[in-house]
């Protein structure tokens, strides 16, 4: 054998040998077969297993806190809980302890705010100490607490706070001055607060001036009520509510018609006052908007909240005499105007016939409670008698659902669940032969 051609022949066979492989011997249609070489398994792969692995990878493990951070968080939570418990139980010694000595500033600040919400003079000295010895965060909370209380003993702190570089302290100082009802503080509010470039300070000043109930301040409230800034409008409404006078309630009542964006706040502000001026203002608004179901429902809910249930009257004609006694010719207290409202106290049992506008009208006298006309009167209301022809009566009753809630549940009888049994037959009556 000639070996010269052996080696080149082997190379040629090796280069073409791949075409004789069983893998490439398949047809193109067979290339998509799942039983290819290298896939000896007859089972399909479970997709749920891969999904589960993906979800496990996506889950974030909770970071493991170091012991120091865990101790801090536990101390913070325990401190806040103790502060809230102290506020709920009026525990001033605890609030003082946590406000002055707790190592975490947020707990001390929470104690300061809690003392302010309690609105007691017992917390004033504690807050003073916190301002004198603590840092910015706690001092802000302490000033807010002092503003909630509004003690005159805090005036020096408010004067210093009004000049502070801390905006939160300045706003709280102007807000707290009004509650002190101090004449000097009122001058600061008028000369400094209203002229401030900070809107929050101006709003705090308006709210503070409301407590003084000075008639001259009503012009200021009306000016801001008619401003284009809605925030100033809302502050003016709240200030008028704090004024709590007949005139301020009348301003709110008159503003209800034009200030549609403030209607809910006006109704809420009147409801918060809980005096006869506010109740009668709500009734007059109700009489003027009887065609609006939404307004009637809103005012009815607020009258119910004020427990203003019963019979109320509205004067239907001018110069209606309010008499001291229920008979013709009795001394007159004053004349009532059309649209004036009041509460019906009682009805006199004796009817009278009175000539009115050429007609003989028979009706009863009603004892009513109306607001006093003079601003300097010692009481808000006065009682008198009005002839029934001159009034229109409206009855405000409690909703049926509330009546059912207040009814005491009937005590069930222990025999209600027992079935009545038939009397046992008398064997002697059935068998007369046994007698």
Residue range 71-307, CATH number: 1.25.10.10
Average pLDDT of span 266-280? 90
pLDDT value of residue 63: 66
Q: In what order do the strands lie in the sheet with 320-323?
A: 332-336, 320-323, 381-387, 359-371, 341-356, 310-315, 391-396
Q: At 396, list the tokens.
A: 């405000």
**Residues β-bridged to residue 395:** 311
pLDDT band of 424, cuts 50, 70, 90: very low
Q: 10 versus 302: which is more confidently predicted?
A: 302
Average pLDDT of span 42-60? 53
Q: Give the rounded percent of residues in the chain with a pLDDT score beyond 70.
A: 75
Q: Are 212 and 240 in contact (CB under 8 A)?
A: no
Q: At 149, list the tokens.
A: 């209380």
Domain ranges in the chain? Answer: 71-307, 313-396
Is the model's pLDDT at 396 over the cut of 90?
no
Q: What is the per-residue pLDDT across 330-388, written as a single tens digit (0 to 9) for each?
A: 999 999 999 999 999 999 999 999 998 889 999 999 999 998 876 555 578 899 999 99
Is the model's pLDDT at 402 over the cut of 70?
no
Is the model's pLDDT at 252 over the cut of 80?
yes
- The burial class, CB within 10 Å (0-12 / 13-18 / 19+), for 366 is buried
Q: What is the per-residue pLDDT across 187-206, written as a single tens digit (0 to 9) for each?
A: 999 999 999 999 999 999 99
DSSP 185-252: HHHHIIIIITT-S-HHHHHHHHHHHHTT--TTHHHHHHHHHTSS-HHHHHHHHHHHHHH-SHHHHHHH
Average pLDDT of span 91-100? 95
What 355-360 contacts at long range (C-beta under 8 Å, 24+ apart), as own/partner pairs, is 356/389
- The burial class, CB within 10 Å (0-12 / 13-18 / 19+), for 228 is exposed
Which region among 31-35, 75-79, 242-246, 319-323 has the lowest average model confidence (pLDDT)? 31-35
Q: Give the rounded percent of residues in the chain with a pLDDT score beyond 90.
A: 62
Is the model's pLDDT at 432 over the cut of 50?
no
Helix ranges restricted to H, 344-390? none
* C-alpha closest to that of 249 among 275, 228, 226: 275
pLDDT value of residue 379: 72
pLDDT value of residue 307: 84
């Amino acid at each position: 054998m000639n070996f010269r051609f052996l080696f080149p022949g082997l190379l040629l066979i090796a280069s073409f040998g791949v075409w004789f492989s069983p893998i490439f011997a398949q047809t193109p249609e067979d290339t998509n077969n799942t039983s290819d070489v290298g896939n000896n398994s007859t089972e399909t792969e479970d997709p749920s297993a891969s999904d589960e692995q993906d979800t496990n990878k996506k889950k974030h493990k909770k970071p493991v806190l170091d012991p120091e951070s865990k101790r801090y968080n536990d101390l913070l939570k325990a401190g806040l809980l103790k502060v809230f418990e102290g506020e709920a139980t009026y525990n001033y010694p605890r609030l003082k302890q946590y406000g002055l000595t707790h190592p975490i500033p947020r707990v001390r600040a929470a104690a300061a705010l809690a003392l302010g919400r309690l609105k007691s003079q017992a917390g004033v000295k504690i807050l003073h100490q916190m301002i004198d010895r603590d840092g910015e965060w706690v001092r802000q909370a302490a000033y807010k607490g002092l503003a909630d209380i509004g003690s005159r003993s805090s005036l020096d702190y408010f004067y210093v706070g009004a000049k502070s570089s801390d905006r939160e302290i300045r706003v709280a100082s102007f807000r707290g001055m009004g509650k002190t009802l101090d004449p000097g503080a009122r001058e600061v509010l008028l000369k400094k607060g209203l002229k401030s470039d900070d809107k929050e300070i101006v709003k705090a000043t308006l709210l503070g001036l409301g407590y003084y109930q000075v008639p001259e301040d009503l012009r200021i409230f009306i000016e801001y009520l008619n401003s284009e800034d809605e925030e100033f409008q809302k502050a003016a409404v709240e200030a008028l509510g704090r004024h709590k006078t007949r005139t301020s309630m009348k301003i709110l009542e008159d503003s209800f018609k034009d200030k549609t964006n403030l209607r809910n706040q006006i109704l809420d502000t009147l409801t918060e006052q809980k005096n006869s001026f506010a109740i009668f203002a709500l009734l007059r608004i109700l009489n003027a908007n009887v065609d609006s179901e939404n307004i009637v429902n809103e005012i009815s809910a607020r009258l119910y909240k004020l427990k203003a249930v019963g019979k109320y009257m509205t004067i239907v004609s001018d110069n209606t005499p309010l008499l001291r006694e229920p008979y013709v010719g009795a001394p007159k207290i004053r004349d009532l105007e059309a649209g004036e409202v009041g509460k019906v106290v009682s009805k006199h049992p004796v009817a009278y016939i009175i000539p009115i506008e050429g007609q003989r009208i028979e009706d009863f006298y009603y004892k009513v409670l109306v607001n006093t006309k003079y601003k300097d009167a010692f009481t808000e209301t006065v009682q008198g008698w009005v002839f029934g022809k001159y009034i229109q009566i409206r009855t405000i009753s409690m909703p049926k659902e509330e009546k059912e809630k207040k009814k005491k549940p009937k005590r069930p009888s222990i025999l209600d669940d027992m079935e009545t049994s038939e009397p046992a037959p008398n064997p002697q009556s059935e068998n007369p032969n046994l007698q």
